[in-house]
Amino acid sequence: MRFSGFEGDWGLMSLREMVEFKTGYAFKSEKMLSERSTYQLIKMSNVYQNELRLDRNPSFGKPSKITNKITY
């Protein structure tokens, strides 16, 4: 599947080339959802043996209806 407007070869890069990792308690656990929602929160427990594992202890955030962003 290709989105319209994207052409050429696929690139391969590590996650650290795309994002900045921050640690700490960024999300309040009482605001996390255990059932599948629009956005999955990526936590340190999702990084296992140097791989991103979204199936490990998944948590989801409910986006604001106004901004479509997760607020914590």
Q: What per-residue confidence (pLDDT) applies to 66?
A: 45
What does the pLDDT average to over 12-38?
75
Q: Does 61 map to a domain?
A: yes
Q: Determine the structural domain holding residue 53 and report its residue range.
A: 22-72
- What pTM was computed for the model? 0.48
- DSSP-derived secondary structure for 16-55: GGT-----S--S-GGG-BSS--SEEEP-GGGEETTEE-TT
Q: Does 70 map to a domain?
A: yes
- Among the ranges given (2-6, 47-51, 54-58), the one the predictor scored with the smallest mean pLDDT: 2-6
Tell which wins on pLDDT, 65 or 13. 13
* Pair of tokens at residue 49: 């043996």
Q: Does 8 map to a domain?
A: no
**pLDDT band at residue 34 under the 50/70/90 scheme:** confident
Q: Does 15 map to a domain?
A: no
Number of domains in the chain: 1
Q: What residues pair up with 61 in beta bridges, in sequence order?
A: 39
